[in-house]
Chains A and B, each alone.
Chain A
Amino acid sequence: MLAFLIKRAANAIFVMLSVSFIAFMIFRFVGDPVELMLNEQATQSQRDELRSRLGLDQSFIAQFATFVGNAAKGDFGISFRNQQDVMAMIAERFPATFELVLVATFISLVVGIPMGVITAIRRQTWYAETMQFVSIIGISLPSFVVGIGLILVFSVLLGWFPAFGRGETVQIGWWSTGLLTHTGRMSIILPALSLSLFQITLVMRLVRAEMLEVLRSDFIKFARARGIPARAIHFRHALRNCLMPVVTLTAMQIGGLIAFALVTETVFQWPGMGLLFIQAVTFVDVPIMAAYLCIVALIFVVLNAIVDVTYAIIDPRLRGADK
């Protein structure tokens, strides 16, 4: 078990180092920071002085080491564009993205699981087949088109929900939440729905496949023979055995959702990290781009590692797994 943990941690660290190397290379490639920070009249000695102060006269490897060291402390420098601390800017935007992802995950489970069960136990009916067909379409529709469609129908045509922004927010410590106000709750519905659509179809297909498998097993036959009502068999006995993969999928997808939220955030002008990143991209604001990349990769890698380790605890066969 210890060997497995060490191997898994080494793997995660390797991925993070590679990602920070990519982030570092973006810094090196895009523009000369000295040119960006000084005005055109600066003398050569001023340039040299700034260069050595920023550590740019050191060797490539030493610079990379400094970058990784600072990044590990959460120091990504200041934004080129508005001269603020990058980490503070991202921390300010993080709650918006996190709440969006949380609500989207919640919707995907609440809608996806029952749909999966229904399509599995009522396979031949027209509504189950319709759901199957819609799910293929749902999985291939571009998420920004879904968002625009939702805005067109529910904001422009019907006027039920606001089309952009977060509504009013309440400050709790450093966390700003929109879930406690009416406008905040109304504002989160459309973006969360548009973000969760892909997830709903994933959950639904997974639950359906698992249910079909479980329903064929002996203990279900035995439960039927005992005369347990169908509803209890489906929801208490069968569904419970399907939930483990759903939990895994949900955990692994949260990282992907955080990254993909940037598309949704752009469509709905949702003030989260993703919108910050996209705005930074249009202005080539490298520190923000690098910080966002590292943070999203970190969330991704940590979640994957947790899922793997949990699996190893539950299933001892995986510990010595040598692929």
Chain B
Amino acid sequence: MTDIHASVTARRDKPKGRLERLRDSDLWWSFSRSRSAVGAAIALGLVILTALFAPLLSPQNPYDLAALELWNAELPPVWMEGGQMPYVLGTDVQGRDILSGILYGTRVSVFIGIASVLVSLGVGVLAGLTAGFFGGWVDNVLMRVGDVLLSIPIILVAILVSSVAQALLPPHLREAGISVVLVLAIAMYSWVQYARVVRAQTMVERRKEYVQASRLVGTPARRLMLKHILPNTLTPVFVTATLNFGLAILIEATLSFLGVGMPPNQPSLGTLIRVGNQYLFSGSWWIVLFPSIQLCILVVAVNMLGDWLRDALNPKLR
């Protein structure tokens, strides 16, 4: 009798681990029931893991010009006549292994995507909090700037910022600076979305009693904003961030495809497609096809996860 009692209390008192809490949550339940979300998560996980371990997995270092052999140029994929191991997906006109190029290129694309989401999320959340909390002219200025940015098509903003900034970079910084420029060009536009979401939520939260009470006991504004209001605005921010991650990868790929993004010596997926596009009519379709497929898998998986997350976190749909 006492034994049972002891074990029951023990079970009740044992603090749950993070993993266990996650498995108990509504979010996990909804995730495991959605076939497209699980599929997208697996695809995305595979793409990101293989990109992360690209140096270990790829048969060749595509940046190392000494490893390229011209007599291995334009080899078709192995399952076709003339294909050779280890070039599973064939080679391009310089004898560069397509698979290695894709793995390294995905790395660049994912890195720029994550970096621009982090930058725009940071700036946007701060701007939204400040605008929503203080209101008045701060709010007016921030939101008008956002309006102007959103009234120009995103692709134009990104092309202009990226091309002008690249023209202004001093030559010795150009190599390293381009990815930073791209991140900023993408973030410059997308912070507005976070700012709007957070601002709307902040304006609701700041009138609530817990904020009033906290203000009454003399909590400074900054602490009030960051510690009390911010956590309550984060749910829609996650959804925006996921969807924006997909958008950021897409814009980076488009810029690189148009020739104002990553240069051919440090290619992203978009650059690979741009280069491959030139050989579309020469019969070497694999140079352009495989990077395109990889890009599509990446973007579609991220968007599907974002779609699912938006529905799962929407209280109206529960």
A, B co-complexed: yes
Q: Is the CB of B296 within 8 A of A142?
A: yes
Q: Size range of the interface on B?
A: 35 or more
User: Could you list some 18 contacts between A and B, CB below 8 A?
Assistant: A15-B148, A15-B151, A31-B167, A137-B300, A140-B303, A142-B296, A143-B254, A144-B253, A144-B254, A144-B273, A145-B273, A148-B292, A152-B289, A156-B281, A262-B155, A263-B257, A281-B259, A297-B151
A289 to B146 Cα, complex, angstroms: 22
Which residues of chain B from 219 to 277 have a CB within 8 Å of any chain A CB? 246, 250, 253-254, 257-260, 273, 277
Minimal beta-carbon separation of A144 from chain B (angstroms): 5
- Say whether, besides A145-B292, A156-B285, A140 and B300 are in contact (CB < 8 Å): yes
Q: Is the CB of A259 within 8 A of B289?
A: no
Q: Is the CB of A136 within 8 A of B148?
A: no
A169 to B147 Cα, complex, angstroms: 40
A296 to B156 Cα, complex, angstroms: 9
- Say whether, besides A140-B246, A145-B295, A148-B273, A19 and B152 are in contact (CB < 8 Å): yes
Minimal beta-carbon separation of A290 from chain B (angstroms): 9
Q: Is the CB of A29 within 8 A of B168?
A: yes
Please report B residues at the A interface, Cβ cutoff 8 Å.
144, 147-148, 151-153, 155-156, 159-160, 163-164, 167-168, 246, 250, 253-254, 257-260, 273, 277, 280-281, 285, 288-289, 292, 295-296, 299-300, 302-304, 307
Return the contact of B296 from the options A14, A141, A259 (Cβ within 8 A).
A141
Give the dominant DSSP class at B's interface: helix
A19 to B296 Cα, complex, angstroms: 33
Chain A residues near B302 (CB, 8 Å)?
140
A178 touches B (CB below 8 Å): no
Q: Chain A residue with minimal CB distance to B303?
A: A140
Give the dominant DSSP class at A's interface: helix
Q: Is the CB of A152 within 8 A of B254?
A: no
Please report A residues at the B interface, Cβ cutoff 8 Å.
14-15, 18-19, 22, 26, 29-31, 136-137, 139-145, 148-149, 151-152, 156, 163, 255-256, 259-260, 262-263, 266-267, 278, 281-282, 284, 289, 293, 296-297, 300-301, 304
Chain A residues near B257 (CB, 8 Å)?
144, 263, 266
Q: Is the CB of B164 within 8 A of A29?
A: yes
A39 to B162 Cα, complex, angstroms: 29
